[in-house]
Structure 1
């Protein structure tokens, strides 16, 4: 069966955060959800559930755990020992917050401005997912941000892209005896890197050297165009025993408000600590579980076609942006060569998101939210016709301003 991702779906007046925040005032290419129907298997399972007309307390069976376990084996050749290793969570963001409390018992309280405080420190490399950056502080702890290395790298044609990599010297300089957690986002949102095994091995060795727990946000792991996603807990023994890897079906399957999110924690002691910290998360919801089984066990062909469509969108944007903003006329324009995610990281010469809203009528996320001031993040998980319209508006605004 061939799925139609060019189908127009009117999301206005559907309580859509993406579309209804400003109505039809702007073309919304900002928050990371997609404009595509969910996999048919998800709708089928939910319809059967609704037809029963009963929503009593859920007894979570092995179905969801088997679906996740089989998915890891099928996609990554990774062994996950079912329910003992998997902790279902209400979303990745709450898990990012509570994880910052790991090691809190090792921190001596200190008096700050006349008040006793007990805080851990975490560290991460930016640009990075905004909620990941904010999560430790939401939990009352401290997040240290370290800039990634950014250089220009030419492809076969000679076109130079921004290329981001982790700066381990800068990360080392940020670590203190209060630093307990290293946060990683892979694939990286917003710069689109899919880290190689060698890079992840360096992360693990760095964490081991500094006795850190690695919390790896892998929400976009199913949206990879080049290379192969590597679950962090599979990298080596230290990563296996000292990490919390976070996943969800929210991104590729467009289920952020019917999400099946979970943590994979192979180490029993660490898993017990995390479960105690996350006790208030409560129980999973029956609809989320059914959608989770469908998305992880029954939607492989849909996912394959969805990723192919997104890759074609990426390639379309890449070609169009090169054509519309050539280096000889727009030397300030830069973009990344996206390895994963459906989020393109752009620099039009330090022009922010508000400028594009005011002058082009296109709403992209501002780079400042991700620790990358001067950039914008464009979500291209929509039909190509709308992308073309947005590009026309962006081009006209930038060229008018340049004149």
Structure 2
């Protein structure tokens, strides 16, 4: 909605026009009408996503009502542009607005669940997540539409399954998590998203144990590798977030734990839990960290793998900073190995190559159920050579 208001605002208030003209008055009235219709529309559609129900109510499809209104504004504004000394920019904004609405409408006809489409748009609060071409108008329109289709198909399929079949997982939590893993997201965008999510307080609630069990599996894997002397084991929690893994490790008597996390908002929450001795505000992206060689007995990752997250090259750094005989534990969603471009046909062959090169040795590869949102996870354990 912010995009809609911004574009109409430019047309109305950034374009010189005669205040007393009939076209100007009608345009302003249409602007007010669009805002009103938007608010009524949100009130109508929002209840379709019944979070507390184990099954989403099926209702008739609702089509965005301001498509025709937007066209009306465009027609009337053309008269206003006749009085403008600089019509080109305003015309460009109008065409961008109208074309995006039309394309969005026709794409929506390809998908069945209006509940998931609308929820994705409303709950993310960022129109760029739903229509990537508006994130950068210089991108190829074809590439953006393809990317959009992939996002919606996945979000619709999974969120629909969770909202209709699960007793525990809310669609709000799923969509919030998907926002951090959306196709095409960069590491900087991901970091900013996590900061906002953490500061809002939503991260701790949305990914509570039960919905997201990665930290539990990670701590258990580390505990199995270090059955004794756990207070002496020095651990680095990579992509530590708000400290979920740190909390689980502390419950298992691991008290010598540091954190590596790029999001300031996540780190701010993690510090309050007092589960980490040292915190490194940095990415694991393939560049050398400030941490000396062989500093840790164990490096563990849970939740740090995904679209726009830790690249394959970043994992090599964990071998460097882990002591000989130490553990590198990677816990991630299993399906990411099939469709995340960074990992598909790349991650496991690379891990196997490093084993063939004598850098580490596979201890175990285990599939775990209900890693997150009823999705299976995979736990890799490697002993550094």
Structure number with the higher strand fraction is 1
TM-score normalised by L of structure 2: 0.33
The answer to which structure, 1 or 2, has the higher relative contact order (CA under 8 A, 6+ apart) is 1
Tell which structure's C-alpha radius of gyration is larger: 2
Larger helix fraction of residues: 2
